[in-house]
Structure 1
């Protein structure tokens, strides 16, 4: 089966969607699945998939400068698609490139599937744009109504869309590379590199932006009891609009690394004693699973897809969303009990080892086959009615 993948975010952009799609494309390579990629052009454009990739001029998105809004060329898309002749189109984002893929798929009557990755409706309130909510939902429902299947990363997301009248929703969860993210990646030299003189390391990995509920994490840092605060060094991995503000406010016992990837990122996950992630807007939470794979217990909010990753009091702690004191209590409990924390780390790693990318992507390929068969069957039925 030949697959055309349309996405408005892809490597080297740094976000959960781009990293998931890179893993998917790697699986296409592994399984010898013929594919073509349609993506935004970036300054650091990768040549890793040069034989398969078609990129289009793009501009930074005003809310997310790290994300790009592309200006696709319809003639180029038609030319490349006519030559490739895909059996199925997978559209991952409802922006310009995704819309271009949708237009071509409808015009040529090619089976299409979509995937839903981001709760944009949740984001609106963080940017005082809630007045756009109903318009956004009308657009999203129209966009995803064209697909034989819409893939979501968690049961929570499935329920969220079902309440809005979405149909043909299928679960496509996320995996983790337990060879890349592993307790073995711990690098003792980082203590000196980051000037860590404290007993414990607490870690946040993600975008430095309001929709990640960093106000909750800020309050946790400010309200930690002195006895614990004096034993903790914080590490923030990520970039975004709040980075400079946090750098200006917090000067002691804290490290801001910016974006990291590969072995550098893996080493920091395994260095940390706890992973603290207050976001309530996640459809899944790839970074949480990466922390668990590294043997680091995760403290998360009781909202969003993260609740399906963390097993409360076994692989981490699930706290009341937006409640700093709930997070502080969890931190206090785990830092006060080394045996419990270490046991949680073992259980976290054990769970992560069951979340193989290979199994998850092989199941997605099966779903592709089912979507293709469903579409062909619908076309036959429509033809027989004439």
Structure 2
């Protein structure tokens, strides 16, 4: 699941086949050259590796992996997501100062520079000129790499403070809402209230928040550095953006917020696409992989 576990394949000395699910980003330019020989050794101790993106398959081959590669998407259980009531949505809106006419750009992600929330804030300054009622809602807090020793601010807190300062500097602080952690009920209300969901990450293994947004038939704007972008036919079931192209991000947001018919169509097609990541279909793929690998042994 994570790169720290890779050596486990060499430690299991039985004749049973071994499968690794690689969940995090797999970009060759992110791996130090001095690691490559060790990665080659450890990865080839696995009979199969599951990745979430076609380009990760290509990276594995370029790294010298010789085993079986399965492209299987991460999954969600749609039964764990409910449809909030109007009062729940109104309650969420009231708590975070959203007015009925506000058009919400929603990002659900932990507070981490890799998630690219700063790109959205920079784009918002441009968006506000065309769509004055646009509001950016950032849901999430903390970071897996946050400080645990209590010395200074955690990584997540530092990033949240940076984002708040950036919004102030750009003059859009009144249009940026940071909710921090929300419970499942508020998360469902946030998705329902959104005009679109966005994933502007500069590094992203997959991006299940996009799948969650699609469950609520929301159009998605997705970074080309996220694995989930493989599922997008640009302009049909979502829009793929370069996270470093602030004007391009802003243009995509404006396009969806101003064209209700397009936004609805993109969201509905996104919902149909999300079914590829439902647990029922993905588990079947994993079972077939296990049967294939075990049968080959």
How would you bin the TM-score normalised by the shorter chain?
0.7 to 0.9
Q: Secondary structure at the match of 1:188?
A: helix
Aligned ranges for residues 69-80 of structure 1 at < 5 Å? Answer: none
- Tell me: CA distance 1:246–1:156, structure 2 relative to 1, closer, same or farther (3 Å): same
- 1:316 offset after TM fit, Å? 1.9
Deviations 1:80-110 (A, max 9, x none): xxxxxxxxxxxx2332x554x435412x343
Match of 1:258 in 2: 180
Contact 1:180 1:266 in 2 (8 A): no
Contact 2:25 2:203 in 1 (8 A): yes
- Tell me: CA distance 1:331–1:170, structure 2 relative to 1, closer, same or farther (3 Å): same
Deviations 1:327-360 (A, max 9, x none): 1111111111112112222222232235321121
Q: Secondary structure at the match of 1:353?
A: helix
- Tell me: CA distance 1:185–1:341, structure 2 relative to 1, closer, same or farther (3 Å): farther
- Tell me: CA distance 1:119–1:303, structure 2 relative to 1, closer, same or farther (3 Å): closer
- The counterpart of 1:286, out of the listed 208, 217, 220, is 208
Match of 2:97 in 1: 195
**Higher helix fraction: Structure 1 or Structure 2?**
2
Match of 1:160 in 2: 59
- 1:136 offset after TM fit, Å? 3.0
- Tell me: CA distance 1:139–1:183, structure 2 relative to 1, closer, same or farther (3 Å): farther
Deviations 1:24-79 (A, max 9, x none): xxxxxxxxxxxxxxxxxxxxxxxxxxxxxxxxxxxxxxxxxxxxxxxxxxxxxxxx
Q: Distance in 2 between matches of 1:344 and 1:373?
A: 41
| 2:136 corresponds to 1:223 | no
Q: Distance in 1 between matches of 2:279 and 2:92?
A: 29
- The counterpart of 2:50, out of the listed 140, 146, 151, is 151
Contact 1:185 1:266 in 2 (8 A): no
Give TM-score, length-normalised by structure 1: 0.64
Match of 2:148 in 1: none
Contact 2:74 2:282 in 1 (8 A): yes
Match of 2:267 in 1: 345
Matched positions, count: 273
Match of 1:237 in 2: 139
- Tell me: CA distance 1:233–1:117, structure 2 relative to 1, closer, same or farther (3 Å): same
Contact 1:297 1:316 in 2 (8 A): yes
Q: Secondary structure at the match of 2:107?
A: strand
- 1:199 offset after TM fit, Å? 2.0
Considering only CA atoms, is the larger Rg found in Structure 1 or Structure 2?
1
Q: Secondary structure at the match of 1:179?
A: helix
Match of 1:247 in 2: 164
Once the two structures are overlaid, the 10-residue window that deviates more, 181-190 or 341-350, is: 181-190
- 1:261 offset after TM fit, Å? 5.0
- 1:176 offset after TM fit, Å? 3.0
Q: Distance in 2 between matches of 1:98 and 1:261?
A: 33
Q: Distance in 1 between matches of 2:237 and 2:227?
A: 15
| 2:21 corresponds to 1:115 | yes
Match of 1:275 in 2: 197
Q: Distance in 2 between matches of 1:358 and 1:185?
A: 27
Q: Distance in 1 between matches of 2:261 and 2:92?
A: 24
- Tell me: CA distance 1:337–1:352, structure 2 relative to 1, closer, same or farther (3 Å): same
Structure 2 gaps of 5+ residues are 144-154, 168-172
- Tell me: CA distance 1:215–1:195, structure 2 relative to 1, closer, same or farther (3 Å): closer
Q: Distance in 1 between matches of 2:222 and 2:22?
A: 22
Deviations 1:214-233 (A, max 9, x none): 342232123334242x3112
Q: Distance in 1 between matches of 2:138 and 2:204?
A: 18
Contact 1:196 1:253 in 2 (8 A): no
Structure 1 gaps of 5+ residues are 1-91, 125-131, 377-386
- 1:368 offset after TM fit, Å? 1.6
Aligned ranges for residues 319-330 of structure 1 at < 5 Å? Answer: 319-330=241-252
Aligned ranges for residues 66-215 of structure 1 at < 5 Å? Answer: 92-95=1-4, 99=7, 101-106=8-13, 108-119=14-25, 133-167=32-66, 168-181=68-81, 187-197=89-99, 198-215=101-118
Q: Distance in 1 between matches of 2:121 and 2:28?
A: 20
